[in-house]
Structure 1
Amino acid sequence: MESHLCYLWLLISSFTYFCLLNKLLAHSLFHVHHHPGIRTNVTKHLFFSNFTSNYEIKLLGNASISQDKGFIQIPDPSPAVDHAYQAGRAIYSSPIRLLDPLTATPASFQTTFSFQFTTTNNSFSGSGGNGLAFVIVPDEFTVGRAGPWLGIVNDACEHYKVFAVEFDNSNDPNFGDPNDDHVGINLGTAVSFKTADSSESNASLHHDDVVHRAWIRYDGHRNWIEIYLGVDGDTVPSQPLLSSSLNLSPLLNEYMFVGFSASTGDSSQIHSILSWEFFSTSQAMLNEPPSHICRQNIAHQVSKYSMTNQISRPSSFLIFLCLFGLFVVTFLNLYCNSNRSSGSGSTLAFVFPDGKQRPVPPSKPRRFEILELYRATKRFSKMEVLASDTRGVLYRGTLPNGCYVAVKRFSSNEFLHLSRLDWTRVLKRISSITTNVPCHPNLAPIRGWCCDNRETIIVYDYYQNGSLDRWLFGVGVLPWSRRFELIKDVAESLSFLHSKELTHGNLKSSSVFLDVNCKAVLGDYGFFMGSVSSKKADVFGFGMLVLEIVSGKRTELEEEITDVLGFAWAMHEKGEMVNVIDERMKSNMNLEQAIRVLEIGLVCTLCEGNIGIGRPSMEE
């Protein structure tokens, strides 16, 4: 076998040298007379006098379009919606070219829009957090955090390329706000690097009866931005309210999305965009092929359709390439089959997909090859890690079609000692979850798997807003109204799983993800068959999750479980459950409701041996 390998290595080396030589010759032939091409401009013009029945605007989070007025409104002004601590976006649905990748020159653009702030009837004096921002973002599915973040970024947005011009009528010193009436320029963060007092424009953002108009002009060649603010119907002010030298190229991809983002805090208001116009110009290069290439192409076409040249002999290089490829494929198949029959794992086995695997529709889960996931996660790079625990590591992956997925790579110890029967159960569980999960919007579907004698990997949908633990324990505070909705989402999805005789098996805050509407989605499943005992384990996990959400304290570490759970029970016995509630939520919450939820969470953590009572079912 060693002699075969040496011979194979010699052939591969010779073939590689031959290919490189041909490539160098081809490069010298085609690039001797290179023409730089023709420079041109790519323009884009958007105009919306109103937004009635407009399908070019994509709404995210708590954003809506008023059909009677034709306004974009953030948050939804419906009385049924809690307007406090809401965030939303309205994005033009198609990406716009804003960067020339060859010269790294940002596009020049101008935009103007009319907007109005309206204080709601249920508003009260608080720490604020209201504001609207014009944004340039890399995707059309991310919604930032409410409050002073203005929906621009959230804790899950790492290395997130975003440019924003904010119109903020709240004052948060932690974000460097100069006052509660200002305009700011934000680069990849909710903190403005430069601000101006908007009251100097004679158009204070605190006037509910005023329709404002903003003009933003950016010159990509001069790297200069100017922002004007006035009253709708007036001419552009003679002097900009805010201007600055600014190079946007580090924050831009070649194609970006443009639109608006807004949020509310303790003091709620409706942010309305009445009209919008946007115009951009970016440089591009039209590659003009050399004249001899054109002549070669014409000659090739003539020979292709010429009767005299239809029967032509293949070149010696083509014959050599075919024979060499046939030899390599035959040798590797023999080598891989011999290894498989002996039971040893071989990395060469990953070169070819399983011949028995049948094509499946894109919407159906499928078996992935290890090399596909290896490339998708950039060799399982640490930069792509989303979360990790003792069971494995969760990575972000990018498929060849550009779609993001979440890739859970289980540790080798997780399935090391499983028997063939246990493996059958694991695969059966994957099949059961795959069949039932798509039926519920709060359960993450499995997109595929990779199971062999070396790796166990599960592929899920990717959620840009990240996992719940990053929102609970990161910078900022989730309001109680949002926490309560998340608890309900988790309870409903667990109840659905149990009704199908399935369990989650790995319930914790890092296994709960937030979709584009900030709804809870359960994912990162454990892979053991469902039973009565494992259902009760899910109930216990739900109780601990409730404690985390209400108290704002981690319970994942073993040494902390007794402390948090014991403290909650001690406060329950003393009738002082209010001491368990996250003090960062302040007074903007339903205290009675929070205490009731805490009591339900404690009941879910009861030991099964308790006399008279035990853990309830999720349906109960």
Structure 2
Amino acid sequence: MLINFFSLLLKLHMATSLKEFHFLIILCLLFIHFSLAQDGNQFIYNGFQGANLHLDGIAKIHPNGLLQLTNTSKQQMGHAFYRIPLSFNTYSSGLMTNLSFSTNFVFAMVPELPNLGGHGIAFTISPTMNFSHALQSQFFGIFNPSNWSLPANHVVAIELDTSMSIEFEDIDKNHVGVDVNSPKSIEAAPTSYFSDKERKNISLELISGNPMQLWIDYDEAEKTLNVTIAPVKIPKPNRPLLSTAIDLSQILLEYMYVGFSSSTGTFASDHYILGWSFNKSGQAQSLEISKLPSLPPQKRKKKSFKMILILPLAAAVVLIIVIGASYFIRSKKYEEVLEEWETEYGPHRFSYKNLYRATNGFKERELLGRGGFGKVYRGKLHNSNQQIAVKRVSHDSKQGMKEFVAEIASIGRLRHRNLVQLLGYCRRRGELLLVYDYMPNGSLDKFLFNNVKPNLNWFQRFRILKGVASALLYLHEEWEQVVLHRDVKASNVLLDADLNGRLGDFGLARLYDHGSNPQTTHVVGTLGYLAPELARTGKATTSTDVFAFGIFMLEVACGRRPTNLQGVREGVILLDWVLECWKGGAILDASDPKLEGNYLTKEMELVLKLGLLCSHPLPEMRPSMRQVLQYFDGDATLQEMQPDSLSINTSTESNEALQLVMSFGYSFGKYSAHSLSSNESILDKTR
């Protein structure tokens, strides 16, 4: 525009006097000033070639003008903000202002894997364009665990969320939300639009890969923020998806930046913006859909067709014979015994054939892990494509098998977001196969002890502890029977796609009715996690689970195994070491060095002291899991304790427990008592 103006000015100069030319220059400067003022209040981009944007992270602009915020890289973020700060709120300077604004943009989300988005796009109004301290995943590249929910953020965002984050109380994994200073929405709704023609709401899938348009309108007079969404070829619906009462004058500063933030997590999506219109002083202009850049072509699976050949009759006969013989041989291969009493547990029994196919014949490449119990394999059920984990446990004894399978069927009915669901079992030739939901990130102990990247930060660790505590409370008090897990430890806590902790491995679990006493007298569990009284009485209780959870808390906080302290003098176990640090007035010295001090001191002290209390040698001194969760949630305060109150020699108690276990007369097979590692379970062979 300015080039054309100056070209015209040059022609006028050739035809006018010098005085008239000076007058035209003054008009030109006034025109430029007026134009810039107008552009500062509103802009429109039908594609982003030459757009006045600040990009960071993995955001980029394609040659055709398409703005890409993120690609299918994991745990990444991208930002694109209008470079010029806009005047939003001048109340602080004593001047009246109009906070009303209007914007609309066209976006598209193309997931790497079907139905698995990560994590979404947020239209953001922020006092800064520097998000170097923000985190990806559920934080949208705007916040981090230490600053979310702080009023000092002065951030308003409209999130297009494709992942369900429990800690932010998300309603589902396909919603639109209004965020103020936090990724926890003050109001949210499942993604849909109102059809003026059909007079009803129609659902939309954010990660469908199809372009959609979002309108955001704030009315200062009404103190109302309206958010509307629709497919790109449908005009703006008459009814908004969200209509939120909010006073932005209490949140926004005088000058703010507007733009987009996006992030990926364990799963990733291509997040695109095709066009954007914004107006700070009126209704934003409508985008010209026909002029918007096109999306990159999606890869389509080529359909393969099998050629059908007509065989001669003689060949067909031979084929039938071969198939019959193969079926007979395979039936012997997959042969398994189904006794009469197992019919009542039918839905929980898997056929060996299906599990064999699911794990590709239990091939070594599908192996997830191994231990004293046996091996665990990754698998996929062919009839449903559901991913599973299959644990193969040797179980030669037939004594108590019926009761054991009955308990497996009961445990299969447990439902909690922090439990790995036990789907069922299979029994074949003295071998027991337990089938679980598959957890893509494996067990927690790998992240704590094997330097698996990324390193778990304190926010993630604290969330895992709360999740496992919630699961144990459900097992102990909230289900129809009391469930004793009997093997709580880091290797039995698995991490889902979003690194949430889930308690698994119910191979040693026991059930009994509320109000009754457990009858078991067999000592099972893992050395280093066994409560001292368990060896004396032989009876597992909820208190022995609490003891193991206390050791687990110390594992997570210290990043060390219960009985293998590297760099610490020989013979000292984790309990004694943390207690010594506390007695020396430096309990925080016990924290995991990999955290590099990046944790909330109050939370770290709570976890260490509560871990010691849960692992108290006297069972009556340990809290219940309900009390533990109240401490975590801040609904109760841990009373001041002196380290001397916990100074009963825990290592002596543990040694006595080990001797008592040995005196019971149980055989550890090829393992001696001193050669068992902290991750190997003492299996109760007789059940």
TM-score bracket for this pair, using the shorter chain length: 0.3 to 0.5
Higher relative contact order (CA 8 A, sep 6+): 1
TM-score (norm 2): 0.43
